[in-house]
Amino acid sequence: MESAGKRVSSPCYGVWLIALGAAMWGLDAVFIVSLQRHMTSTQIVFLEHLLLTLFAVPVLLWKRHELKRLDIGDWGAVLFIGWGGSALASILFAVGLQYGNANVVLVLQKLQPLFAVLLAAWLLKERIRQGYWWLLAAAMVGAYLLTFGFGSLTGIDTHGRLVGALCALGAAALWGGSTAMGKRLVGKVSFSTVTALRFAVALPFLFCIVEAEHPSWTSLGHALTLWPVLANLLFQTLFPSLFSLLIYYRGLDDVKASHATIAELAFPATGLLLNWLVLGQTINVGQWIGFAIVWLAVFQLTRLPKDHSSQSFGESVKTSA
């Protein structure tokens, strides 16, 4: 069997591609909050995926031969990524922003690496180097500082905090699991096929969820006639969703899932900068330090010596082929 696609030039290059894709996810919060004035969180995610099928269907028709490489376990990974990582996690994150405190949502989302590392070790048999754990700990400290600075949780408004916290925790678990599942798939099919499968599989599931809410399609249609709403939705679909995931899965092909999840911390770093530049929220010294720690962790990750005693999942598949 031929390899699924041309591999990236090096793990270092792959880590930076993942960080770039994750940084684009940081655009989500500003645009989601704006769209929530006109439609529900579930409707936002459904409409995004409806537009994304314009990309997914042609890709899947073009590369349908790649689907023959997937076994039952791989299709289980596709369902997890589509239903969990693309549909439910996106809804939970949006609901968390709507009902909870944004700081609580962000800090609990930082638990995502723990889920990704555990699943990568369990499902993909990735051997974690000792230096990684120190790097992970430093990145988590930086992520906390990004959210709270040198303060604590005691001064945060508790309105909606429980709902927001539970939604954020669920999203973190699903996104962390999707990192490991995505790593399994990019070893067999191209990164564009993985992205297309993610969107296509999620759409029917999202439609069922929207229908269960008994939405007013007339009101939704009226909202879409407003140019600012439509432009917002199109931008949200193209950049934080489509382009970011294409870049992300391109980088994931040559990077361990446990390493990828640290690079994904570029997501909250971008969110912090947008809050400062767009929403006018100030950044204190502790948050600037956290920002620096997160990006230094990503940089140091690219310098870790490669573990030649074990192969990543993608490497083992291609070698055995």
Return the pLDDT at 163: 77
SS3 152: coil
Residue type at 179 in one-letter notation: T
pLDDT above 80 for 319: no
**Do residues 262 and 113 touch, judged by C-beta distance below 8 A?**
yes
Please tell me which residue, 10 or 233, carries the higher pLDDT value. 233
The whole-model pTM stands at 0.70
Return the pLDDT at 11: 64
- Mean pLDDT, to the nearest integer, of 115-136? 74
**Do residues 202 and 82 touch, judged by C-beta distance below 8 A?**
yes
pLDDT above 50 for 309: no
Return the pLDDT at 153: 55
Confidence of residue 4 (pLDDT cuts 50, 70, 90): very low
Confidence of residue 176 (pLDDT cuts 50, 70, 90): confident
Q: In 110-265, which residue ranges form alpha helices assigned H by DSSP?
A: 112-123, 130-148, 161-185, 191-212, 217-224, 227-236, 244-252, 257-263
- Mean pLDDT, to the nearest integer, of 68-83? 94
Q: Over pLDDT 90: what percentage of the chain?
A: 21
- In which residue are the tokens 């040198």 written? 150
Longest Cα pair distance anywhere in the chain, in angstroms? 59
- Mean pLDDT, to the nearest integer, of 230-259? 82
- Mean pLDDT, to the nearest integer, of 35-39? 86
Return the pLDDT at 182: 87
Token pair listed for 203: 């759409």
pLDDT above 70 for 100: no
Confidence of residue 314 (pLDDT cuts 50, 70, 90): very low
Token pair listed for 123: 């499902």
Please state the length of the chain.
321
Confidence of residue 320 (pLDDT cuts 50, 70, 90): very low
Residue type at 5 in one-letter notation: G
Average pLDDT, the chain: 77
Nearest to 28 by CA among 112, 116, 93, 105: 93
pLDDT above 90 for 97: no
Return the pLDDT at 62: 95
